[in-house]
Structure 1
Amino acid sequence: MAQPTEAGTGFNIVVVGQGGRLQYEALIFAASLRAMSPGFTGRLLVAEPQPGALWRNDPRIAGEETHARLAELDAEIVPFASHHFGQPYPYGNKIEALLALPEGEPFVFFDTDTLVTGELTDVPFDFDRPSASLRRSGTWPEPDLYGPGYTAIWKSLYDKFGLDFEGSLDLSQPDEYWKRYLYFNAGFFFYRCPRVFGERFLEYALAIRDDPPPELVCQSLDPWLDQVALPLVIHALGGGRDTLPVGLLDGAVTCHYRTLPLLYARESDRVIAVLEEVTSPNKIKKVLKEYDAIKRMIYQGRGQKVRALFDQDNLPRREQAIRNAIKRNGFWMR
């Protein structure tokens, strides 16, 4: 049974941890949180999917050492069942995990491939006005040349759920330009209650997956389903794109690096210094070296070789160009 958040701590932090890469990323996240945000005295919850019909293999965190290191960092494992997504759509973990979290307690969700680089308690979260990461590109939708366009696609979703489409628009952006429409990366999001957020998130995601509007007929929902539903949830709960000051999350306080090669290629010297500092203790290093990409990138110097390929003050504008350069040199790992 989950215990209430201590008075004065303000909020919980949650990541999803499961066997494989995510359990090691969760350990790095926890180490960075404890090192860089000593003011955070809330609970760090690692939501763990449990075996079931929707998983081919056991998705739980493997290995006593990983569990021991997480426990030493005061991370609490919170099991949850996969009723709707599981192996066919693992991004749905972040939706179903919310339903197992302490009801009525404010939360901030982070993807595990996030590094804490500053004091999280300095971020002025307004938990009554949810938001999510704006470090994104126009990945969805991909309108067909002959239509429907951005407006028709997004409006069909707002209409499906009885939401105010016009109120979601950024009118400073041109019509039919992707930034005009509410769109987030799901790398972080927050709200005053995980159950309320999770129930709405699940409702919208399942309705979009199982009964999409006709305007979505040519649009892929894998892997984008969570990012399609997320802005609708945030808008429905009274949030938006402007409820956090710019430059803190995905800036001075956190870094959503996504993969270690991309981190070394394009992030700041400070981010790399934090990564290498928090992964240096021997007990943590022993566990992290079990994962080949982490061992090679951090401990065997491949990350620094990736960094040497690029001028960090003059990076290619498109992420794909960065990925291609890393791959051409034989350094790509995931």
Structure 2
Amino acid sequence: MAKANGKIQPFNIVIVGQTNRLQYEALLFAASFRATNPDFKGRFFVAEPQPGPLWQDDPRITNAHVLELLDEFGAEILPFENRHFGQKYPHGNKIEALSALPEGDPFVFFDTDTLILDDLAQVPFDFDRPSASNRVEGTWPKPELYGPGYTGIWKSLYDRFGLDFESSLDLSQPDEYWRRYLYFNAGFFYYKCPKLFGDRFAEYAVEIRTNPPQELACQSLNPWLDQVVLPLVIHSFRGGRDALPEGYLDGSHSCHYRLLPMLYARESDKAVDVLEEIAEPNRVKKVLKQYEPIKRFVYQNKGEKARALFDRDNLPRREQQIRQTLKKNGLWLR
């Protein structure tokens, strides 16, 4: 854990759980977390959006057996209200869930489609300097031929919120190459206070959604809004791409697999071993088998077939190529 005044600083963990796919992913996360962090000193929350005008259907976890196992694995269900997003932009849950967390307590948010592989107390978080996942492709923006380039698009966002654009750049990367600009995957992020971070995250996201700079006229914000806003929030709190040493998260201590076919295709042997170990107990198996991708990939050996298609030491450069190979072999479920 991070150290404050020489003492170990506890922190909280939060994921989002709701009906359908995410309730089963939340169960996998919780089982992996409890198996690898039995002595965790903080609190573990499964944030749950509540019914309201921004949801057509009830988004809460519907499976009583999932709820029982989450409780067994030490999860606290944390209800929260959607004031800005909801059914039309469920990615906004990761923004709005922060408002329900204990104010002033450091937190780490993980996407629900993540496995925890080792003791998170070993991760050298500096909660005064936020960061997020660098495991990202250049998914946004997509500059138009006659429109503004990366610099024009990103600078317009920094200017909107009075942030210093130049200090966010990685000057070792070429001009107009996407890696020059601060950009994260929102699969994890952290800070010293969820209220401070969440309030600013929501403020920036709502502003960009409702009143985007002219430079964004040809850019899609769905589903990218959270990843567009996240670097601005992190930079505003003096965090950055190098605030967390590489190799811990999205590495030895966590695996953001996104979809089970992708987990088996490209992730480490350790990630597969953890998944299959936590899915083995009968009380867990009975519940997980209700979700088709887990049933087929974990319990009916489609995962083994997907894994045999790829050399993890020589994977295709782009994720899309992996997906296409899986689809050609009838091994794509989501």
TM-score w.r.t. the length of structure 2 is: 0.97
Matched, 1:134 2:124: no
TM-aligned CA deviation for residue 173 of structure 1: 0.7
Q: State the match for 2:149 in structure 1.
A: 149
TM-aligned CA deviation for residue 320 of structure 1: 0.6
Q: State the match for 1:183 in structure 2.
A: 183
Q: Distance in 1 between matches of 2:285 and 2:265?
A: 22
Q: State the match for 1:311 in structure 2.
A: 311
Q: State the match for 1:195 in structure 2.
A: 195
Superposed CA deviations along residues 253-284 of structure 1, whole A, max 9, x for unmatched, are 00100000000001111110111011111111
Q: Distance in 2 between matches of 1:116 and 1:229?
A: 26
| 2:30 maps to amino acid | A
SS at match of 2:263: helix
Map 1:1-334 → 2, pairs under 5 A: 10-334=10-334
Q: Distance in 1 between matches of 2:325 and 2:216?
A: 34
| Contact 1:39-1:120 within 8 A present in 2 as well | no
Superposed CA deviations along residues 232-258 of structure 1, whole A, max 9, x for unmatched, are 000001111111111000000001000
TM-aligned CA deviation for residue 311 of structure 1: 2.0
Q: Distance in 1 between matches of 2:174 and 2:39?
A: 42
TM-aligned CA deviation for residue 8 of structure 1: 5.8
| 1:72 maps to amino acid | E
Q: Distance in 1 between matches of 2:41 and 2:284?
A: 22
TM-aligned CA deviation for residue 145 of structure 1: 1.4
| Contact 1:9-1:40 within 8 A present in 2 as well | no
RMSD: 1.0
Q: Distance in 2 between matches of 1:94 and 1:295?
A: 27
Q: Distance in 2 between matches of 1:197 and 1:280?
A: 38
Any stretches of 5+ residues in structure 1 without a counterpart?
1-6
Q: Percent identity?
A: 69
SS at match of 1:190: strand
Q: Distance in 1 between matches of 2:208 and 2:167?
A: 21
| 1:135 maps to amino acid | R
Superposed CA deviations along residues 281-312 of structure 1, whole A, max 9, x for unmatched, are 11111111111111111111111111111222
SS at match of 1:310: coil
Q: Distance in 2 between matches of 1:169 and 1:112?
A: 30
Q: Distance in 2 between matches of 1:98 and 1:131?
A: 16
Q: Distance in 2 between matches of 1:183 and 1:54?
A: 29
| Contact 1:44-1:76 within 8 A present in 2 as well | yes
SS at match of 1:175: coil
Deviates more, 1:279-288 or 1:228-237: 279-288
Q: Distance in 2 between matches of 1:8 and 1:157?
A: 37
Q: State the match for 1:3 in structure 2.
A: none
Q: Distance in 1 between matches of 2:274 and 2:223?
A: 30
Q: State the match for 1:4 in structure 2.
A: none
SS at match of 2:230: helix
| 1:176 maps to amino acid | E
| 1:128 maps to amino acid | D
TM-aligned CA deviation for residue 147 of structure 1: 2.5
| 1:74 maps to amino acid | G
Aligned length: 328
SS at match of 1:14: strand
Q: Distance in 2 between matches of 1:214 and 1:29?
A: 40
| Contact 1:37-1:118 within 8 A present in 2 as well | yes
Q: Distance in 1 between matches of 2:40 and 2:269?
A: 24
SS at match of 1:147: coil
TM-aligned CA deviation for residue 39 of structure 1: 3.9
Superposed CA deviations along residues 94-113 of structure 1, whole A, max 9, x for unmatched, are 00100111100000000010
Deviates more, 1:313-322 or 1:231-240: 313-322
Q: Distance in 1 between matches of 2:187 and 2:312?
A: 23
Superposed CA deviations along residues 149-203 of structure 1, whole A, max 9, x for unmatched, are 0000000000000000001111111111101100000000000110110000000
TM-score w.r.t. the length of structure 1 is: 0.97
Deviates more, 1:306-315 or 1:158-167: 306-315
Q: Distance in 2 between matches of 1:170 and 1:60?
A: 41
Q: Distance in 2 between matches of 1:303 and 1:57?
A: 32
SS at match of 1:212: coil
| 1:196 maps to amino acid | L
Superposed CA deviations along residues 23-70 of structure 1, whole A, max 9, x for unmatched, are 111111111111112342211000000011111111000121111000
Q: CA, structure 1 residues 102+271, in 2 after alignment: closer, same or farther (shift >3 Å)?
A: same
Q: State the match for 2:3 in structure 1.
A: none
